[in-house]
Amino acid sequence: MLLSDRILFLDGEALVIDKPEGLPVDPPRDGSLSLENHLDSLRFGFKRWPLAVHRLDRDTSGCLLLARNPKAHGRFTRAFEGREVEKQYLAILAGVPTDDRGTIDLPLGKTSTAEAGWRMVVDPKGKPSVSHWETLAVANGRALLRFRPETGRTHQLRVHALEGLGFPIVGDPVYGTGGRRDRTMLHAERLVVKRDVKPPIIAEAPFPDRFAALGFEPPEGAAPTRG
């Protein structure tokens, strides 16, 4: 697998790749491959390795932004923290929501038990988390949704799907019924990062084959990648 073949955007300070599902951003404890093992192939003439600005879960595919120098990394990180980044995700739910669209506003906190490990839960004292959503298609008792999260909490969309809409994301092993061989059906479809002087970073990842395998077609409404 060559990540250099999965470039969605590239200029002097930014790089967006279409991260494959199953590839963790951070090195796992078991020593298996992660994004770090591919960074040398993503230098494109620069001496430094690019640095991931944000995180996607291991199973989540799609747009991942990397900064090509430390100054850009700091600037992009502040943009994420300041909710200045436009993000769109596609998800397949294990059911069909009653409404066609809406907003989920559920604060999240982290909990941990010795038996089940850690997970995120709805917690009135937790951090604010807001997601806008719309149903794009229905097939075989499942729904294809587009999420536009305002915040970027850990597992936000996975918890919001279950607790806000009543259905987990298909394949989710923590908040749904996914097994060891399943993949959580979540895809970072589109990413837009505005910049002061330069044109914005705009990237869109292709519709995943694993979504098509469940009977869904690429949705309309996303602009093509430019860059």
Catalytic residue positions, numbered: 57
Give the length of the chain. Answer: 227
Task: Give phi and psi for 96, each to the nearest 5.
Answer: -120, 120
Question: What region does 34 belong to: left with phi over 0, alpha with psi -120 to 50, or beta?
Answer: beta
Measured in Å, how far apart are the chain's first and last C-alpha atoms? 22
Q: Is 162 helix (H, G, I), strand (E, B) or coil?
A: helix
Q: Which residues contact 134 (CB under 8 A, 6 or more apart)?
A: 100, 101, 145, 146
Instruction: Give the residue from 215, 213, 123, 122 showing the smallest Cα distance to 175.
Output: 122
Q: Which residues contact 131 (CB under 8 A, 6 or more apart)?
A: 103, 104, 147, 148, 149, 150, 151, 156, 157, 160, 164
Question: Which of 51, 103, 71, 65 has the alpha carbon at shortest distance from 204?
Answer: 65
